[in-house]
Structure 1
Amino acid sequence: MFGFAKNTFLRSFKSCLHAVRRCVLPVMLVLAAGLCGCAGQNNALPANAPTVTIGIDPFEPYCYMDGNGQYAGIDVDLATEAFTRLGYNVEFQEINWPDKDDLLQDGTVDCVWACFSMNGREDLYQWSGPYMSSRQVVAVRADSNIHELADLAGKRIGVQATTKAEGLFLGKIPSDLPAGQVSSYATTGDMFAALRKGYVDAICGHEALIAGWIGTETMAYRLLDESPLQTELGVAFAKGTHAELSLALTQTLEQMQYDGTMGRILEKYGIDAQKAMGGDENA
């Protein structure tokens, strides 16, 4: 009888222990995420903390020089937060983009972080990420009868020269987009002027640029829900180098998604965080 009571007690004890674990583990994960967030907000690092040099190529709102002469933008904020959590100071160095591979190889910069697409380059670099998606979007006048990409068939499309949007609509980037008349412009402003004056029926470009312009005239334009192209952005280190750091950076960026830090940074710059972080299957 004593043995039966003992076994009953042990089973009850183990059941209670499992219940405690189930309750405590989620709390521990939340606390850990909170501690990571606090660590990121406290930018005070030891005087001897190492410095990581990041190669950048200005492209607003990912990276640009603000009115105080300081680098700002989505990638700047993400890089500063992530590397601070990892115990690194950050130094941003503007580079000539075609020279990025040589600068990575000779150690002038440790990585490049500049709205850099991983697609088709997966084997060329040691990557961290992807940390978000970059979307091309189509804008039309608010009263337009164009509501989806299929409606662009036979229409006049405005794009910015040398961009992914131009490559898409000129057929240089494979896609299922319908054929239309393509006009290339020097700037985003020129595209919107053409759309406003009726020279084109729609324009296409990077979401950050297009949404920024629409934000100032929300009653005049609207975006199509569908995206003609979506790519994954990553942080590139030289192939075969910084394996441990790139892995730690990937994990830190995932933590920043989990604790809401990345979403807050994206929304700060007018980017739809849900779509940019892969939360919308139809994006």
Structure 2
Amino acid sequence: MLKRHFLAGALLCCVGAPRAAPLPAFDCGDIAVAFYEHGALYYRDGNGQWAGIDKDIVDELGKRLGCRFHASVDSRVRIWTNLKGGTLPMSVSGIATPERLQFARFLPYFTSRNYVLLQKNSKPAVHDLASFLAEPGYKVAVIKSFKHGPTYDAWLAQLRKEGRVYETADYGSLIRLFKLGRVQAVLALNTSLAPLSRQRDLADGVRILDWAPKDVIVGGLVLSRQLIPEATAEQFAQAIHAMREDGTLRAIYSRHVGAELAAGMFNF
């Protein structure tokens, strides 16, 4: 689990009693926001339109605060580079780290967990992190710049020393490597499991394993300290709190991952 003192530095307001009245009108102007494709967080629907939890969160903020968001889609590596360089005001579903807190504020709106997707034809003896490490020919793929929680990040650090980690630019590339059998495992958030299960060429050949049950990933809005005024960030934080209290967040989660998974996404 991310250390609470990191989250304390990221949060701009604490969760308290429900607000007695709706937020006052607030025009935060035009803000560029970069999304990245990843499971139920951001994806193309059956009509080819962008959809997902992240999109619905941002759309709702626009309605409540009068913000005019200008969306783009980019790789996570470029997004973090631009945030750090002060050329991008905002992104979504980011994970706070001490380094990132130096240039961005984080406003949590969901929790998630990573699971291991293992090739079904892998050796039966591979049943946990240690036994995967013990197979020198086994490799794993991850998206470059992603944080996966303390347990998986320590495991990946060991694998990187042995040259057994593929770094991909995006989620699509990650899944393609797995389907082609170039790697024996990938890591996926639980918000990605439902979309993956609908891919018939993948679902029948994968084992979904929980090798770090105590790790929790906290994702939130990422706001540039350089480009987003603190007063604006405070308004965002109050709006997210209101969305949690009035059931909007639960409705958004349920729409994309179902009610059962949605119920466990509030531990922030």
SS of residue in 1 equivalent to 2:110? strand
Corresponding residue number in structure 1 for 2:65 = 86
Structure 2 distance, partners of 1:148, 1:177, is: 16
- More RCO (CA 8 Å, sep 6+): 2
How many residues align structurally?
229
1:58 deviation in Å?
2.7
Give the conservation status (yes or no) of the 8 Å contact 2:108–2:219. yes
The aligned runs of 1:1-283 (5 Å cut-off) are 51-61=29-39, 62-64=41-43, 70-94=49-73, 97=79, 98-104=81-87, 111-121=89-99, 123-141=101-119, 144=124, 146-155=126-135, 156-160=138-142, 162=144, 164=146, 173-175=153-155, 182=164, 184=166, 186-194=173-181, 200=184, 202-209=185-192, 211-217=194-200, 218=203, 220-227=205-212, 230-239=216-225, 241-270=228-257, 272-278=261-267
Structure 2 distance, partners of 1:278, 1:147, is: 28
RMSD: 4.3
SS of residue in 2 equivalent to 1:194? coil
Taking structure 2 as the reference length, the TM-score comes to 0.62
Structure 2: give runs of 5+ residues left out of the alignment: 1-16
1:56 deviation in Å?
0.5
Corresponding residue number in structure 1 for 2:5 = none
Change (3 A) 1:51 1:64: farther
SS of residue in 2 equivalent to 1:187? helix
1:225 maps to amino acid: D
SS of residue in 1 equivalent to 2:267? coil
Taking structure 1 as the reference length, the TM-score comes to 0.60
Structure 1: give runs of 5+ residues left out of the alignment: 1-27, 40-45
1:250 maps to amino acid: A
2:71 maps to amino acid: F
Change (3 A) 1:182 1:168: farther
Cα-to-partner distance string for 1:154-207 (whole Å, 9 max, x where unaligned): 1424314636489999x9x43598768835375312213428xxx73x433444
Structure 1 distance, partners of 2:235, 2:120, is: 45
Give the conservation status (yes or no) of the 8 Å contact 1:52–1:89. yes
1:251 maps to amino acid: Q
Give the conservation status (yes or no) of the 8 Å contact 2:35–2:42. yes
Give the conservation status (yes or no) of the 8 Å contact 2:30–2:68. yes
